[in-house]
Amino acid sequence: MLVATSEKKSFALSVLGKEFPIVVLDVETLDSKPLGLWDEPIVSFSISLPTDTITAWDAPTACFITESIDEERELLELLRKILWSNRKSLWAGHNISYQYKYICQEMSWPCGYDLPKIRKRGNLRGIDFGFLQKIPVFDSMDEGFKHYDHSAHNRQWNGEKQRILRCEHIEEDFNIVRPPWLPKLGPQVRDHYLKYLETGDLKLLQTISQYNACDTIIESIITKIFLHSLNGCNSSLKIISPLKRCAHIPRAFPIESNPTWQRFTAAELERINNV
């Protein structure tokens, strides 16, 4: 298993012995919606540790990625240790909920993706993730369904105002700019990973880990924007709006200028060059 981190390698493992106020999580799998594949292995996960200080947008980040599908059990065992060590922390991400709070009240969707996927793969590997249904979760897709200022966008779904927003919609609204050279893989994670298994090209794994880490860095920013909008300067409004952001929320978030991202990509380049 490869470890990529924005700090020293020891940072990535330090989460086993500490409790952090917020832990942002994102997993990458070999699932494929176009192919109808929903029972495929998890191949990587990334965590970010944002502070609860609104003026600090840096968040130490680590990504763990398997070098073979056979390593999934090892990956899940490590993830379980991290989740258990931080079971009282607020776990955040986009569409990660074990049980939605708001979407399920109006639609037939009971849950998100990441945490249910982790438990499902854990069951197949004989690893108990039953405690996941009890950990505190802040899901930006679910929270956005209820609290986002949907008058600030013109997106439509089935002829109505779209209230379930993808991560890229929030990125667009709050001007969170991904590195232009990094592909937004999505379902192409499967293609990259299978090609890596065929060719042994570690740069394909590097692209997956960079994409995974970029997602959690962005989701850390989104989480802090949402929490501050609901509990900070404009808390009386109880609305998350790109049009009514307070002075604490910058007008743009270029990820290439983010110190965490700069450290992460530098460490990744050094690791690949030393292989």
pLDDT confidence of residue 272: 47
Longest Cα–Cα distance of the chain, Å, equals: 55
Q: What kind of fold does domain 2-273 have according to CATH?
A: Nucleotidyltransferase; domain 5 (3.30.420)
pLDDT of the chain along its 275 residues, tens only?
676 666 655 555 566 666 788 999 999 999 998 899 999 999 999 999 998 777 778 888 989 999 999 999 999 999 999 999 899 999 999 999 999 999 999 988 899 999 999 999 999 999 999 999 999 999 999 999 999 999 999 999 888 899 999 999 999 999 999 999 999 998 899 999 999 999 999 999 999 999 999 999 999 999 999 999 999 887 888 899 999 888 999 999 999 999 889 888 876 555 544 44
pLDDT confidence of residue 275: 47
pLDDT confidence of residue 5: 67
Q: Are 273 and 6 in contact (CB under 8 A)?
A: no
The pLDDT tens digits of the residues spanning 57-90 come to 888 898 999 999 999 999 999 999 999 989 999 9
Q: Is the dihedral of CA 85, 79, 189, 38 positive or negative?
A: negative
| pTM score, whole prediction | 0.92
pLDDT confidence of residue 56: 78
